[in-house]
Chains A and B, each alone.
Chain A
Amino acid sequence: MTRREVVNRRRGVLLLAPTVLALGTLTVYPGVWVLWLSLQHRIPIFGVSRFAGLDNYAFLAVDSRFSSAAATTIIFTVTSVALEVALGVAAALAIHAQRGGRRVALSLLLLAWAMPAVVTAKLFEWLYHPTAGLLNVALGGGHALNWLGDPRLALPAVVLADVWRTMPFVAVLCYARLLAIPAELYEAAQVDGAGRLATLVLITLPMLGRILLVAILFRTLDALRAFDLMFVLTGGGPAGTTETITVYAYRALFQTLQLGFGSALSVVVFVLVMAVAWAYLRLLRTSTVTA
């Protein structure tokens, strides 16, 4: 190694140091600590602090509240991400096809996305209100639906609020990609006599593929960790039908102060998110090679 290379390398390490240090103290250290906590019975108000091995995980395996929370998390993630992607692509195509008013449409879309989740949740809480809510008024009186109180309606209601809130994210990403599709492709399709449907299916959607994968990745990871909407809208109720694993973890960690048990729940969420992220990134890498 020449002197110059040594100096260069040293400078590189020095410049990297703040990032490594920040990531280390803010993510690695707490992460390892949570993992360690999850192997303990630790409840400060009772002065309990002892090693439990895998007891917490073994209990999760048979806990009905955990399996219900896991099912809710999966159902919420799959339905809300699917709806968001479908509606997002549709909205992007609709805006793209428009001549005037694109900016207004985009700003309105972004407004929904830029709103803090708690504000969105409060907004929907009013919309869903059994007697005074706009939704029930619009549906006509007589049959007042208890959107957030009925165990069959609560989860769909939460999904709807989430779709309203994050569909714009998908729409804006897709819209940006649509603008970048070269016009020659469409001209060639026209020359070949492709109809509108064929153009959409054979050109537009494949061109959106990569960006859609990225949008789905972000949305899935967010949805798996979903907390704020259900916490404000229903608090996990009625009867735990909208309780995701993160809400359960919050209850255990901060409400009943079962630090060990709550940490085990958090570790499960972490593993779930990492597994999904890893799978998507693999998919993304292979699609880069083929594209």
Chain B
Amino acid sequence: MPRLDALMLTGRPRPVTPAYLLVSSTVQPEFSAALVGVKSPERAIADARARLRYFLEAIR
């Protein structure tokens, strides 16, 4: 319990921003693709970035 208490004080709940879901669901499949080797990590990051740019542009 004391340990948990320390965690509680420093921890933060996951969706700290309403954009969390948008970013997470965009990035997750790309990271997963890089992890299992469907895409190269560079390609995955580039794809995630292109998509995020368009999505985040829309909510501005």
- A residues near B (Cβ < 8 Å) are 41, 43, 45-46, 48, 52, 59, 62-65, 150-151, 236-241, 243, 251, 255-256, 258, 260-261
Contact = CB atoms under 8 A, between A and B. Distances in A.
B7 interface: no
B38 A237 contact: no
Interface string B19-46: 1011001100100110111110000000
A238 B51 contact: no
A156 to B, nearest CB: 15
Given A64-B47, A255-B25, A237 B58 contact: no
Determine which residue in A41, A46, A63, A239 has the highest number of CB atoms from chain B within 10 A of its CB, and name it. A239
A6 to B, nearest CB: 55
A41 B60 CA distance: 10
Contacts of A251: 25
Given A46-B18, A62-B50, A65-B47, A258 B29 contact: no
Contact of A59 (B18, B32, B33, B54): B54
Contact of A261 (B32, B33, B47, B58): B58
The 4 closest A-B pairs by CB, nearest first: A239-B33, A41-B58, A240-B29, A46-B59
B32 A258 contact: no
A176 B34 CA distance: 49
A241 B50 contact: no
A256 B32 contact: no
Contacts of B58: 41, 43, 48, 52, 258, 260-261
Contacts of A256: 21-22, 25-26, 55
Contact of B29 (A46, A65, A150, A260): A65
Contacts of B54: 59, 63
A258 B51 contact: no
A258 B19 CA distance: 11
Nearest to A255: B25
A239 B28 CA distance: 8
B38 A151 contact: yes
A160 to B, nearest CB: 20
A137 to B, nearest CB: 25
A197 to B, nearest CB: 44
Contacts of B26: 256
Given A59-B54, A239-B38, 10 more contacts: A41-B58, A43-B59, A46-B19, A48-B58, A64-B51, A236-B29, A238-B32, A239-B29, A256-B26, A260-B58
26 contacts: A41-B58, A43-B59, A45-B18, A46-B18, A46-B19, A46-B59, A52-B58, A59-B54, A62-B50, A63-B51, A63-B54, A64-B47, A65-B51, A151-B36, A151-B38, A236-B29, A239-B35, A239-B39, A240-B32, A240-B33, A240-B38, A241-B38, A256-B22, A256-B26, A256-B55, A261-B55
Contacts of A64: 47, 50-51
B30 to A, nearest CB: 8
Contacts of A238: 32, 36
Contacts of B19: 46
A237 B21 CA distance: 17
Contacts of A255: 21, 25
Given A45-B18, A258-B22, A239 B47 contact: no
